[in-house]
Amino acid sequence: MENQFPITKWVDENGNVTGEDYKEMVTEELARTFYQHMIRIRTFDKKGISLQRQGRIGTYAPYEGQEASQVGSALALETEDWMFPSYRDHGAAMTFGHSLKNILLFWNGRNEGCIPPEGKNIFPPGIPIATQLPHAVGAAFAEKWKGTKNAAIVYFGDGATSEGDFHEGLNMSSVFEAPVVFFNQNNRYAISVPMEKQMKTKTIAQKALAYDIPGIRIDGNDVFAVYFETLKAMDRARAGEGPTLIEAVTWRYGAHTTADDPTKYRDQMESERKREETDPVLRVERLLKNNGWFDEAWAERMQKQAAEEVDAAVAEMESFPPADPADIFDHVFAEPNWQLQQQKQEYFQAKKGVPVWNQQQQ
């Protein structure tokens, strides 16, 4: 089965374009755009980890190593498309236009982090594994129903394919012919559980066969393959040709989250080797250099710009007003019920030092 689903690669580890057909599409402009975006989200990710270490945000889920998958796929979207990220996909979300400040607020335990910028259809991160897949199918279906050309993309991991929601989502999308792309980042671990223990299939793409939808397998560290293959899948969706399952084979370098210790279950030297051999950012850098497109000063400028943007977002996050407890009560329903009204009143009275027991019995 594995050889029915070969890994598509446009640019190899050494930064060489793999086929004549691709040469024309692998342009300097695209390479620079991808490079810039990947530097940007990597800078953010490193900052996320260090903020957590310093106690300035809560538990954080890093994506370092998966930048090509996230940037390539997000850049293949049109402005009005829908994005359904998981907790590890804020790199994709910010590439699609999410606010860095809000993403930081999310990791700092604030609801504001779930709110996308005006006009951006970005769902809050999927926390319970695979639950976002059926949502994406529904949102995509609604676009089709309304007669638009918009489509949806949904992100999830290798472990997520074991949940019922994955299978139910794929089947529904197939039956509804929904304009949705299932973008799987197969980083080969679900926390500590390696892919071999998660499933017997050697690929995730092959699971598409069961639902009679196209399943493709790409090098998730090759941003060109990711971008162009996602673009194709989104185009198919827009053209009314239904859903696609994309398996982007990648790797997370670090811990599952900052609360995880990967040395418990794997040799982290493997990550160190991959940093040298298959790194998505390094690959584009090599491509740029191979073609004489690399400009040291420009690259430094990109780094600096990214650092400044991220630092500014951190400052915004840190000067953001503290959480207003009224928000606990005010957003449960369109109209708060009597329980919430009473609890809110009692809460604020107690805060003001007026003990609850002084009140009239309700």
Partner 1 sequence: MESTTAVKKKTMTLVQAITDGMRTMLAEDENVLVLGEDVGKNGGVFRATDHLQEEFGEDRVMDTPLSEAGFIGAAIGMAVNGLRPVAEIQFLGFIYPAYEQIMTHASRLRSRTMGHFTVPMVIRAPYGAGVRAPEIHSDSTEAIFTHMPGLKVVCPSSPVDAKGLLIAAIEDPDPVLYLEPMRCYRSSREEVPEGKYTVEIGKANKLQEGNDVSVITWGAMVPVASQAVKEMEAKGVSCELIDLRTLYPIDRDTIAASVQKTGRTVIVHEAHGTGGVGNDVLAIVNDTSFLYQKAPVERVTGFDSPVPFFGFEDEYLPTPARVKHAIEKVIKF
Ligand X SMILES: Cc1ncc(C[n+]2csc(CCOP(=O)(O)OP(=O)(O)O)c2C)c(N)n1
Give min distance, CB of 342 to ligand X, in A.
33
**CB neighbours of residue 305 within 10 Å:** 14
Q: Binding string, 98-137, against ligand X, x = CB under 6 A? A: -----------------------------xxx--------
Q: Does 265 bind partner 1 (CB under 8 A)?
A: yes
Q: Does 187 bind ligand X (CB under 6 A)?
A: yes
Active site residue 256: yes
Q: Does 315 bind ligand X (CB under 6 A)?
A: no
Q: Does 159 bind ligand X (CB under 6 A)?
A: yes
The pair phi, psi for residue 78, each rounded to 5°, is -95, 155
**What is the SS3 assignment for 111?**
helix
Task: Using alpha carbons, select from 240, 180, 188 the residue that is nearest to residue 211.
Answer: 180
Distance CA 286, CA 91 (A): 22
Distance CA 222, CA 293 (A): 18
Residue with tokens 């198919």: 236
The single residue of 90, 217, 252, 283 carrying the catalytic annotation is 252
Strand intervals (E) in the chain: 7-8, 82-84, 121-122, 152-157, 180-186, 189-190, 193-194, 215-219, 244-249
| Binding residues among 190-219 for ligand X as defined by CB under 6 A | 190-191
Identify the DSSP state of 248.
E
Task: Using alpha carbons, select from 215, 280, 279, 223 the residue that is nearest to residue 247.
Answer: 215
Distance CA 53, CA 60 (A): 10
CB closer to ligand X, 96 vs 189: 189
Active site residue 347: no
| Binding residues among 127-186 for Mg ion as defined by CB under 5 A | 157-158
CB closer to partner 1, 3 vs 361: 361
Question: For residues 346 and 359, is the Cβ–Cβ distance under 8 A?
Answer: yes
Q: Does 264 bind partner 1 (CB under 8 A)?
A: yes
Active site residue 265: yes
71-79, 196-204, 245-253, 280-288 -> range binding partner 1 (CB under 8 A):
196-204
Q: Does 70 bind Mg ion (CB under 5 A)?
A: no
Q: Does 337 bind partner 1 (CB under 8 A)?
A: yes
Q: Does 23 bind partner 1 (CB under 8 A)?
A: no
Give min distance, CB of 72 to Mg ion, in A.
18
Q: Quick one: angle between helices 67-75 and 28-53, nearest 10?
A: 130
| Cβ density class 177-207: b for 16+ within 10 Å, e for less | bbbbbbbbbbbbbbeeeebeebeeeebbbbb
Give min distance, CB of 344 to ligand X, in A.
30
CB closer to Mg ion, 88 vs 144: 88
Residues at the site binding ligand X, with contacts judged by CB under 6 A: 88, 127-129, 157-160, 187, 189-191, 256
Residues at the site binding partner 1, with contacts judged by CB under 8 A: 58-59, 87, 107-111, 113, 127-129, 159-160, 162-165, 190-193, 197-199, 259-260, 264-265, 322-323, 325, 327-329, 332, 337, 339-340, 343, 347, 350, 355-357, 361
